[in-house]
Amino acid sequence: MITAVKGTQDLVFPEVGRWQAVERAAHETFARYGFTEIRTPVLEPTELFVRGIGDETDIVTKEMYTFQDRKGRSLTMRPENTAGVARAVVEHRLYESPLHGRLYYIGPQFRYERPQKGRYRQFHQIGAEVLGDPAPGVDAETIAMVMEFLGAVGVMGPAVQVNSVGCPNCRPIYVSALKEELAGSAQHLCGDCRRRLETNPLRVLDCKVPTCQPYLDKAPSFTDFLCEACAEHHDALREALEILRVPFVPRPRLVRGLDYYTRTVFEVTSSALGAQDALLGGGRYDGLLEQIGGPACAGFGWALGMERLLMALPQPAASRLPWTYLAWAGGGTYRAALALARDLRAAGAVVVMEHTARSFKSGLKRADRMNVRYVVLLGEEEAGSGRFTLKDMATGEQWALGREELSRHLAEEVGA
Ligand code: AMP
């Protein structure tokens, strides 16, 4: 038997219905903020991620699905979508168009990570990016938008944590303070942390190894080192979040796993998630477009993991689908059933029917296994009288209804 690649999953109904509902809520919420969808390719030149994400990051050093195509070009299956969006914005000069300043995406991402609960090799992200506006209000509004979305889908216990990682002016001062503080305890830190302390000290704060935590907790707060412009940006962000009624907690040592962030970084966790409680994260990346060869252009964005989002939603109550199974039996009833299904669907009902003859008894059994709420029985008598038997599979009740009444009732069930 050929099985799915490790760390990937197949999605079938009803689970896929939950995905669709989340995606619908995303399209609806983001549209109200003037965001439009962008779909970029899964395959990108490897160079894009090396330059865009940073060659010292875990993603680039250990996690990319990279291969040479038949012409020897190095391609990578995108591990995240911001770099691809930035590439598209530069390539098509979308930064010149106010209509394309607010973009969102929904799609699969690929990282060679150790699979575990809430962590996959093919996972899916919903994300949003705002390009061309350096103002702190953008950060606040885009965070408010994702919180509204989480509210719309019903995420349990979301909490926003914010920080600023400064800019190229003030970050080096923080980094030296951090190195100085941690130098004394370097021998207690894990191998990764010791290596990063030399190559990319901020990454140390990302370490999840429990024995490192007491030392990392002593690290200085970023907000104590911000330059005047960064401090102003951070204060304005906090003020705007308050006006937009987004509750948040400051997390002065929060950094993100990617190199491109400047100033605001944030994460949203959910009380419904366990160890992998980060539901989404993002921040400002004012230098990213330049890094990949574009013009100086401000950017702000976030990405959330679909799989984790679904884990943070309450499981829907087990109830029958508001669908109709149309059972037909007896000479000439197939044609009448085809016509009835056509009319019921036109009225908005969800109708399934078989196209091979079977008895009512076996039809009812299949309808039960499909877990549909309604069965319409169409026998020779019903075909003649134009009144159909409707059976409610949840209660066992039955009615004889004309075509109009039947359509209305079944369409109302699916909310048409
Ligand atoms: P990142 O792109 O690393 O900032 O991640 C953003 C969000 O994507 C995280 O908060 C997770 O919800 C999700 N995520 C990242 N990596 C994975 C993974 N391997 N499997 C599932 N979800 C992931």
How many Cβ atoms are within 10 Å of 151's Cβ, its own excluded? 12
List C-alpha distances in Å: 385 to 332, 375, 382.
Answer: 14, 18, 5
The best mutation among 49, 78, 123 to test binding of ligand 1, ranked by most ligand atoms within 8 Å of the C-beta, falls on 123
Q: Are residues 257 and 153 in the same domain?
A: yes
**Model pLDDT, residue 276:** 67
The best mutation among 49, 109, 309 to test binding of ligand 1, ranked by most ligand atoms within 8 Å of the C-beta, falls on 109
Query: Residue 259: pLDDT above 90?
Result: no
Nearest-CA residue for ligand 1 atom 8 is: 305
Q: Are residues 53 and 144 in the same domain?
A: yes
Q: Are residues 395 and 262 in the same domain?
A: no
- Residue 246 is assigned to a structural domain of this protein: yes
Q: Are residues 58 and 85 in the same domain?
A: yes
Range of the domain at 81: 15-170+226-311
Q: Are residues 256 and 233 in the same domain?
A: yes
Helix (H) or strand (E) holding 65: strand 65-68
Q: In the structure, what pLDDT confidence band is assigned to residue 58 with cuts at 50, 70 and 90?
A: confident
Tens of pLDDT, residue by residue over 273-311, are 876 678 999 999 998 899 899 999 999 999 999 999 999
Choosing from 259, 284, 311, the residue where a domain stops is 311
The atom number, within ligand 1, closest to the CA of 120 reads: 20
Count how many domains the chain has: 2
How many Cβ atoms are within 10 Å of 208's Cβ, its own excluded? 10
Query: Residue 148: pLDDT above 90?
Result: yes
Weakest mean pLDDT among 15-19, 55-59, 109-113, 292-296: 55-59
pTM for the model stands at: 0.90
Ligand 1 and 120: CB distance under 6 A: yes
Spatial separation of the C-alpha atoms in residues 396 and 310, rounded to whole Å: 33
**Ligand 1 centroid vs 266 CA: distance in angstroms?**
14
Q: Are residues 296 and 363 in the same domain?
A: no
Choosing from 290, 311, 332, the residue where a domain stops is 311
Q: Are residues 153 and 274 in the same domain?
A: yes
Angle of helix 46-53 relative to helix 82-91, nearest 10 degrees? 110
Task: Beginning with the edge strand found earlier in the chain, give each strand of the sheet holding 248-250 in spatial order.
Answer: 36-37, 102-110, 122-131, 299-305, 278-284, 262-270, 158-164, 248-250
Q: Are residues 28 and 144 in the same domain?
A: yes
- Residue 33 is assigned to a structural domain of this protein: yes
**Ligand 1 centroid vs 285 CA: distance in angstroms?**
18
Q: Are residues 372 and 404 in the same domain?
A: yes
CATH number of the domain bearing residue 252: 3.30.930.10
